[in-house]
Structure formats: structure tokens, C-alpha cells
Amino acid sequence: MTILEKIITEKRKEVVRLKTEKFPEILDRKPVKSMYDSFMSSTKMNVIAEIKRASPSKGEINSEMDPVMQAVQYEEAGADAISVLTDAPFFSGSMEDLRRVREHVSLPILCKDFIIDPIQIHIAKASGADVILLIVAALEEHQLRELYSEALDQGLEVLVEVHNAEELQTAMRLGANIIGINNRDLKTFIVDLAATEELAGEIRGKDILIISESGMKSSLDSIRAEKAGAKGILVGETLMRSGDIALSMKNLKVSFDGVDAR
Ligand SMILES: O=P(O)(O)OC[C@@H](O)[C@@H](O)c1c[nH]c2ccccc12
């Protein structure tokens, strides 16, 4: 079994449990600006800064961190959106983390999870998410379509994640307007920015927002993503391990002419 299959097997059990539990209280909140609109109109690389305690490929990353303190630091450092990993068994996160972060930041929040059932979308929305992730490799196309339209009906934006040309075709058939190219192969954990370079060129239509995900360490990586056509990057580990979040953020937020934004 691949790690992705293991994660999905656990998710199915979680969904069964969620359906028996009490639905969480709906958080009262102000609307935020659309991530799509703000990223498309920016002149600098947009950074989605991720709250990630641990991962199956790296084990523990930063288990001491308080998600609210981390998210507030991200916002102060100039992040454009916050991603909160809510999966518990493999990433040590929770929906409670997302809810707490929501109460302290005003940026768009991405609920980063392995969504396989509408109940997860409803809970994410109630907990304050603005954007959800749908991973093409984890879903049948009909499921992907159902979950995608459910999310739009709920007023959420959707980041549709792909890793190869076939998945990209599926995302484009769906009409996704935000496509995330994961540089990490979820089956082997190998990270290679060439994934963004290869796939971004195949994305037809200037109105699709491209996000390059995983493995971003420095301004060089950010410039590489920008040259390939990405308007956003999703960064977890580098920011979670950084001793100077403001500096790391500055390095990643290159301006779109390829010159460092500083
Ligand atoms: O820590 P990194 O290498 O910066 O990666 C962040 C993010 O892209 C990664 O966490 C991720 C991308 N797609 C996912 C799907 C599920 C869980 C996690 C992910």
C-alpha cells in the first residue's frame, strides 16, 4: 500500500466517526477577499504559509509550536494566505487548530486535508476555512466533481492538486481555476521542482491561478516557480523550521519580474 492509500484508508474511518459526532458550532466571521482575486492581482510571489507539525516523510517538524502564534507571525511577516494541516494521524494537526487560527488572523485560510466526503467540507466551512484542497490522486473523477461543486456551493474556493500530466488534464476538465502542482510525489516522497516546470507550461488559459507546492527553501526556488508561471507557492517545512520567519518570508516573496522583492 502506498502512503496515500494508507492515509485514505484512515480517512474513511474518520468520516464514519465524524458522521456520528455532533456537528461543530458554526464560527461567526467576517468574509475575506477571494484568494484567487488577490493572488491574480499581486505583483509579488504569493506565499501560502503552512502550519505543519509533522509529516509522514519528515516525521516531527516542529511539535512545540503553537499554531496561533505561528499563524500570527506568518501574517505579520507578509504571508498572503495560511494553510492549516488538519489531518491528525499522519500530520498531527486538527480542525481545532484551524478554528483557533481563524480567530486570530484575517488572511484566507486553506484547510489542508484529504477530503473524500462532503461532511469534511461542511466542517471545514463551519470552522472558518475559505479554501479547501482536493487532491486528484486521492479521488475518482466523479467524486472530485461532486466535492468540487459542493465546495463552490458552500462559497469556498478550491485548490485542486495535481502531480502529473494526467491529473492535470483531469483538473482542467473539471474547470478548476486554482491548480496546485505538488512538487512532492505523494507515492515516493521525492520532491523535484521540475514538476512545476513541466506541468505549468501545459496549463492552458491565462485565468488559471497556478500554485507551486512543496520543497520551497529559498528565493532561488521561488524564482524558479515564478519563471515557470506560478503566482503562488505553498511553503511548510522551511517556515516551520525557520528561526527568522520575517527573513524567510522576504526571501520567498520575489517580485514577478524575477528580481528579489527587497
Ligand atoms: O513542507 P513543504 O515541503 O514546504 O510542503 C508544503 C505542502 O506543499 C505540503 O504539506 C503538501 C502539499 N500537498 C499536500 C497534501 C497533503 C498534505 C500535505 C501536502
pLDDT tens-digit readout, 55-108: 999 999 998 899 999 999 999 999 999 999 999 999 999 999 999 999 999 999
> In the beta sheet, which residues pair with residue 81?
48
Residue 261 has pLDDT above 60, yes or no: no
Domain ranges across the chain: 3-252
Residue 259 has pLDDT above 80, yes or no: no
Q: Which of 46, 83, 182, 251 is catalytic?
A: 182
User: Is 250 considered catalytic here?
Assistant: no
| Per-residue pLDDT, 186 | 86
What are the b/e assignments for 118-146, b being 16+ CB within 10 Å? ebbbbbbbbbbbbbbbbbbbbbeeeebbe
Does CATH number 2.40.50.430 belong to domain 3-252?
no
Mean of all residue pLDDT scores within the chain: 95
> In this structure, are residues 208 and 195 in contact, taking their beta carbons and an 8 Å threshold?
no
Q: Global pTM? A: 0.97
Q: Residue 148: which residues within 8 A CB-CB, separation 6 or more?
A: 134, 158, 160, 174, 176
The finding on whether 197 has its CB within 6 A of some atom of ligand 1 is no
The finding on whether 52 has its CB within 6 A of some atom of ligand 1 is yes
Residue 211 has pLDDT above 90, yes or no: yes
DSSP state of 229: T
pLDDT tens digits along 136-145: 999 999 999 9
- Mutation probe of ligand 1 site: the residue of 3, 52, 70 with most atoms within 8 A of C-beta: 52
Residue 192 has pLDDT above 50, yes or no: yes
Distances (CA, A) of 254 to 78, 175, 225: 12, 29, 10
Kindly state the cell numbers that stand for 164: 502529473
